[in-house]
């Protein structure tokens, strides 16, 4: 059975373009409950660890630089079928390919600066949520 939790970040471009409110509105309108949330800024070490899976990709250095370039909003979200439904809500990685009405179609600038993160599996949702929020910080 699909899990009920996913993890998201409003990335530096989404914060910089003043779209925190618009993006959170879309998330809650789509039926996600916010279980933990904070404004924070990743250190280089944290961004490298969070995106370690992409360490061999040519854009890794650029990705780490961008993700540390300004504040982000990180959050744990709850809904039935959370991971898949949230990936549908955010749209494709490249906003040029993202379906109309998705968060990335509306607010992302480019494939690199694409406004939001969404976990790609229940396992990674758990790992990523724990990375940003010690268990004690999550509202029951
Ligand atoms: P996802 O965020 O849709 O899951 P991934 O393939 O997991 O996409 O890539 C992680 C992040 O790395 C993307 O959201 C984007 O910020 C960045 N990224 C992916 N592909 C490229 C690229 O070709 N150029 C620059 N940045 C990229
Ligand atoms: Mg991914």
Residue 97 CA: distances (Å) to CA of 18, 90, 111? 23, 11, 9
- Structure confidence at residue 140 (pLDDT): 72
Per the annotation, the verdict on 117 as an active-site residue is yes
Written out in words, the top-level CATH class of the domain with range 5-41+73-137 is alpha beta
| Ligand sitting nearest the alpha carbon of 95 | 1
**How many CA atoms, within 13 angstroms, populate the side-chain half-sphere of residue 94?**
2
Per residue in 35-63, pLDDT (tens digit) is 999 999 999 999 999 999 999 999 999 99
Ligand 1 closest atom vs CA 11: 16
Going by C-alpha positions, the residue among 95, 99, 119 that lies closest to residue 107 is 95
Per residue in 99-110, pLDDT (tens digit) is 999 999 999 999
Flag whether pLDDT at 97 surpasses 80: yes
């Amino acid at each position: 059975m699909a899990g009920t939790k996913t993890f998201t970040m409003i990335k530096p471009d989404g914060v910089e373009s003043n779209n925190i409110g618009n993006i959170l509105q879309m998330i809650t309108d789509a039926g996600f409950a916010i279980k933990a949330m904070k404004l924070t800024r990743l250190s280089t070490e944290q961004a490298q660890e969070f995106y370690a899976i992409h360490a061999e990709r040519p854009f890794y250095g650029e990705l780490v630089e961008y993700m540390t370039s300004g504040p982000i909003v990180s959050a744990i979200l709850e809904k039935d079928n959370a991971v898949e439904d949230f990936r549908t809500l955010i749209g494709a990685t490249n906003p040029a390919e993202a379906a109309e009405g998705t968060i990335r179609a509306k607010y992302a600038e480019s494939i690199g600066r694409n406004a939001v993160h969404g976990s790609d599996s229940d396992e990674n949702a758990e790992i990523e949520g724990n990375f940003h929020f010690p268990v004690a910080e999550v509202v029951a």
